Structure 1
Amino acid sequence: MSCSTSRVKMYLCCWLALVALIPVTLNTNPGVKVKLTAKGLEYGRQLGMASIQQKLKSIKVPDMSGKQRVSPIGKVRYSLTNLRMVDVGLPKSALDLVPGTGVRLSIGNAFLRLRGNWRVKYLRIIKDRGSFDLNVNGLTITTSVAMKSDETGRPGVSTVSCVATVGSAKVKFHGGASWLYNLFRKFIDKALRGALQKKICPLVADAVSDLNPELKTLNVVAKVDKYAEIEYSMVSAPIVSTSSIELGLKGEFYNIQKHQEPPFSPTAFSMPPQSTNMLYTGLSAFTANSAAFVYNTAGTLSLSITDDMIPKGSPIRLNTKTFGAFIPQIAERFPGLMMKLLVKTVKNPVITFEPNNATVQATCTVTAYAIQPNTTLSPLFVLNLDTSVSARLVVSGLRLAGSVTLNQMDLTLGKSYVGEFQVRALNNIFQIVLKIVVIPILNVQLAKGYPLPALGKMKLVNTQLQVLKDYMLIGTDVQFNR
């Protein structure tokens, strides 16, 4: 083998090793998408302006002093102290999306009203003092904000640039000799304008940074129950377009004790260009099926049914007398005994979303036992049960809840311990058992709901839910309670 051939192979191995180190999440489709619309951005602008206004009210301009030669009296020493904000106005602002980057906030025609004290000394021995008002008008602020994903998988923001311009700063003095301070008014105007311009952008940057603690409240790992949790970490950077900001979240259920990937992956899906609501959340069939995988793997999708779980008014009882009417050999071999049914899934249930229809297909076994007087269980038969249920989904608070109804079921004989019998004769019994026992128990669990991705004290209002092809879409407005 030539040296050049060996070198090529070595380079190839190195490249393969590097590719293997690339995080899997780079090519991971999101299981959940969250889209913030222009209406949502407008609500965000209102909250942001309130925050910036509070920041500007906290402006603290340090005491200033200096000396200026003023004709005809010579050098005048001055000091401005105790400068404090009394009013802030932000009458005009706009928040625009910058595709691929983030947002740009523009504030125009803003004004500030400040008050302070002045003091002067001239001709070495003559002093004067008083108060003054500072009116700042024509203030404009333009800041660009970048959006990214932080190390925890949560969204984060940072200030990229900021420009603040003070149109005019006019001082009105009170007290003292008016002829005196009118001589050096223009110097004071300039000094105060410069001092304010230096303060504004850092305060705006602080207001932007203050958003990050709020964004860090995203429930990237939300506990569901003692078995499962759902992960909502971001799988890529936010996608900023001309009309919305879209976040791609993992949206996968995991076993709390052991994270195990299911034998399937999320497929790509696109949300429709809707803008009626502030926020849209798309939950894919992958998310629902990852839940089914977790619960099935944990062995929780099984149910033991005894006669005390059957409503008292039901003509169907779980005993060998009832079943003996359809399978005579049961009554003959196990007379007068109560029975027990064990319903257990044998593979992961499959959830599918079609327009206006959510369906769950489940393949189970039903094992019937006769309960002996000493509580020993004697197996009678094993049935294969294929069921289809329709799911009704609702949003309750910050949780997705649901309920199911039986569509159809199919019984086949898996194994009999009592000889041959016609399985079809048991159809009515098992339909009743499913409808009055299994499905109500399942609906109690589904009614508890599963946490949706949410920030802090967010509240959903005007919520609507649609089931579409391969995903469900939740449209909602939001409110933040502080």
Structure 2
Amino acid sequence: MIEKEEKREGHPYQNILPSSTYMHICFVSFPYYKYYFMAFTHATFLHLLIYNILSFADIHLHPLLQIYLSSSNAVRIRILPRAVAYLNNIGAEILNEQLPRLSISNLKQRINNGQGYILLSRIRVSRYKRPTEHIISTSAPNKIIWIMKNLNIGLIGSLSGEVNILVPMKLEGEAEVLAYGVNFQLESALERSETGRARVSIIFCRTTIQLMNIEIHNGGMTGIALNLFKQGISEQIRSLIETLICKKVTEFINDDFNEKLLQTQTKTSLADVIRINAFAAIGLPNTKELMETFRSYNVNISYSHLEYITLQQLVSRILIDFRLNEDPLCYKNTVEISNMGEISLIIGQNIKKTPFSAAPMFWPKKPLQNAMIHLLISDYIANALLYHAFSERLLQFVVDDQTISSLGPLLRTSCTTGICFADLIPQIAEQYPDSKVRLTFTPTRAPVVLFQAKQGVLMANINGLVFMYIVESNKISHQAAAFALDIVANIKLHVENNTLLGKTSVDSFQLKNKYGYINISDDELSDVALLSSEMLQRFINDFLRGGFPIPVPKVLRINITQLQILDRSVFISADFALDRKRVNNLALQAFTDVKYFPPSEHIQSN
């Protein structure tokens, strides 16, 4: 042992190699020692290279991904006249169901000439007849007009108070106020607040009642006496009710409606957006299960600051900003809204913004005007999600016989039938016979997806490094080579029956030899690239040929009538229909939280 220690102390590389490496070298000849030392150096260099590429990812962006000086919107929405008319009908039905549940605070009215006062408490709707007209319309620049005509409604409440006709008398029983021919008009403005949230501001409100009648029930002698004065009292009550209706509507919009609107326009995590099993609703795997199947692969590199992150964890940390970037626009029965759609990532206590913004978007010149809704969606959304997935090391993956079993026969260094890597790179079979091949991909910059109007396609560009490992029968793996990869593919999409279909062409699939222990010629590398390109194209086309159902909320049935690829955005024209039963249930839940709509009571309704 002393002699071995003395030899070790005299070894020229004792200070740069770990003891385990040195002891191994002691039992091999010098040429092998040199080989292992070079391998160690190459591996260290490559790991540092990858680390630097991933650490400074922000400067490795596609040149078309940039911050634009003009205001950036990721989503633009146009609600067209057919949709306004349809929503008007839905709104009328909801109001006809919910207005009879209306609750009104106590009313107190003094009688003229100091003859006492009347107090109505526990006021609820007793009779209801829907209006003959219900119209919601829009006009420039941002007006929303709501008109109801010829509504009949009855309100009943507990009667108390005191009247002084000949002698003072206490009031009791119930009083029912019957209003006939109620006309209501409300003008409001759809605005963008200083914080970027949409809100509705009241401009003008007016209510008129054509006929008012008051009936006293179970009021005894006092009630009979009071009925003698009901004509004069009715006129006073009519003015009070007309003012009260506008007051309550204004309070409802300011206190409840705008508050609920505010809650929908915040920075919301992507997990909250898709928490509603959109995939399960259309027969696909549960969203959680689907994301759990994609996990980060660490390329055999171990850094203490890297975390093992699943896609599900990433989704919970991604924020989408639903605020408005521009003032809403209204013109004749059309509403246009521009949504910021900015995507950012939560890192600890900090928020990491996407280092580029959405390119300016423009409506097509001649869209289908008979649709209900038009959408413009920027390619920023896809690129921002890809960027953050890249920055969190989630776009690294492995190709071997375990991850893609159908490629098992190809990913071998020896074969007697069919085709395998030995046919493409014969040196592999010579150096590593009867072994398996494992390929590991890590991107060197965030993949990019660009919408291009000229060809009507999505252009995808992927850059990265591919590491080739040889896995021997004893499970020991060797890194044999590393290649630079550059892929350019075009995808043409169309929609049939709410299913996304398409066809892909891989226009460029370039592999460049970076380093390795296997001498691979340019011709051999070209053959590998050609085969890989054809396999990738076939795989994507098989997937797109089957189609991908577009997930939509259960409350909505949508029919996409037009899909057009524009420069840096996609235009969608669609019709939609709401599930009436689900909408009514949602409305009931929403109104239940409002103080003016307590649990329903029995009423007479026509």
TM-score, normalising length from structure 1? Answer: 0.75
Deviation string for 1:365-423 (max 9, x for gaps)?
333232355734232352534241526577999xx988874534433433353235212
Deviation string for 1:182-203 (max 9, x for gaps)?
7534321222112212211111
Deviation string for 1:310-332 (max 9, x for gaps)?
43586423436632322222222
Q: Distance in 1 between matches of 2:208 and 2:462?
A: 66
Matched, 1:190 2:235: yes
Deviation string for 1:319-352 (max 9, x for gaps)?
3663232222222233333222122333333323
Corresponding position of 2:378 = 284
Q: Is the 8 A contact 1:221 1:232 kept in 2?
A: yes
Corresponding position of 1:336 = 434
1:354 Cα deviation from its structure 2 partner: 4.3
1:278 Cα deviation from its structure 2 partner: 4.1
Q: Give the partner amino acid of 2:202.
A: T
Q: Give the partner amino acid of 2:434.
A: G
Cα gap change, 1:458 to 1:381, in 2 (>3 Å): closer
Cα gap change, 1:338 to 1:78, in 2 (>3 Å): closer
> SS in structure 2 opposite 1:336?
coil
Q: Is the 8 A contact 1:231 1:250 kept in 2?
A: yes
CA RMSD of aligned residues (A): 4.3
Deviates more, 1:238-247 or 1:252-261: 252-261
Cα gap change, 1:33 to 1:234, in 2 (>3 Å): same
Corresponding position of 1:407 = 506
1:213 Cα deviation from its structure 2 partner: 3.8
Corresponding position of 1:42 = 85
> SS in structure 2 opposite 1:348?
coil
Q: Distance in 2 between matches of 1:383 and 1:182?
A: 95
1:277 Cα deviation from its structure 2 partner: 4.7
Matched, 1:247 2:337: yes
Q: Give the partner amino acid of 1:243.
A: N
2:245 paired residue among 200, 218, 225: 200
Q: Is the 8 A contact 1:26 1:236 kept in 2?
A: no
Corresponding position of 1:16 = none
1:206 Cα deviation from its structure 2 partner: 3.1
Q: Distance in 2 between matches of 1:420 and 1:25?
A: 44
1:283 Cα deviation from its structure 2 partner: 0.9
> SS in structure 1 opposite 2:353?
coil
Q: Is the 8 A contact 2:400 2:407 kept in 1?
A: no
Cα gap change, 1:251 to 1:476, in 2 (>3 Å): farther
Q: Is the 8 A contact 1:239 1:246 kept in 2?
A: yes
> What residue ranges of structure 2 are gaps of 5+ in the alignment?
1-66, 272-311, 587-606
Cα gap change, 1:132 to 1:365, in 2 (>3 Å): closer
**1:299-314 to 2 correspondences below 5 Å:** 299-311=393-405
Aligned residues: 443
> SS in structure 2 opposite 1:226?
helix
1:262 paired residue among 330, 355, 366: 355
Q: Give the partner amino acid of 1:468.
A: I
Corresponding position of 2:258 = 212
Q: Is the 8 A contact 1:359 1:391 kept in 2?
A: no
2:180 paired residue among 123, 137, 140: 137
Q: Distance in 1 between matches of 2:519 and 2:223?
A: 116
Q: Is the 8 A contact 2:469 2:478 kept in 1?
A: yes
Q: Is the 8 A contact 2:68 2:357 kept in 1?
A: no
Q: Give the partner amino acid of 1:338.
A: K
Q: Give the partner amino acid of 1:260.
A: K
Corresponding position of 2:136 = 95
> What residue ranges of structure 1 are gaps of 5+ in the alignment?
1-23, 69-74
Deviation string for 1:67-109 (max 9, x for gaps)?
65xxxxxx96675656653123333222221322331212222
Identity of aligned residues (%): 19
Q: Is the 8 A contact 1:458 1:478 kept in 2?
A: no
Q: Is the 8 A contact 2:169 2:222 kept in 1?
A: no
> SS in structure 2 opposite 1:296?
helix
Corresponding position of 2:200 = 157
Q: Give the partner amino acid of 1:226.
A: Q
1:259 Cα deviation from its structure 2 partner: 1.8
Q: Is the 8 A contact 1:360 1:391 kept in 2?
A: no
Q: Distance in 2 between matches of 1:255 and 1:196?
A: 52
Cα gap change, 1:345 to 1:441, in 2 (>3 Å): farther
1:108 paired residue among 149, 158, 175: 149
Matched, 1:419 2:515: no
Deviation string for 1:89-135 (max 9, x for gaps)?
33322222132233121222222223466986543389998876543
Q: Is the 8 A contact 2:490 2:506 kept in 1?
A: yes
Cα gap change, 1:128 to 1:146, in 2 (>3 Å): closer
Q: Distance in 2 between matches of 1:95 and 1:124?
A: 52
Q: Give the partner amino acid of 2:479.
A: S
1:301 Cα deviation from its structure 2 partner: 2.3
TM-score, normalising length from structure 2? Answer: 0.61
2:326 paired residue among 219, 236, 240: 236
Q: Distance in 2 between matches of 1:333 and 1:376?
A: 13
Cα gap change, 1:276 to 1:184, in 2 (>3 Å): same
Q: Is the 8 A contact 1:370 1:380 kept in 2?
A: no
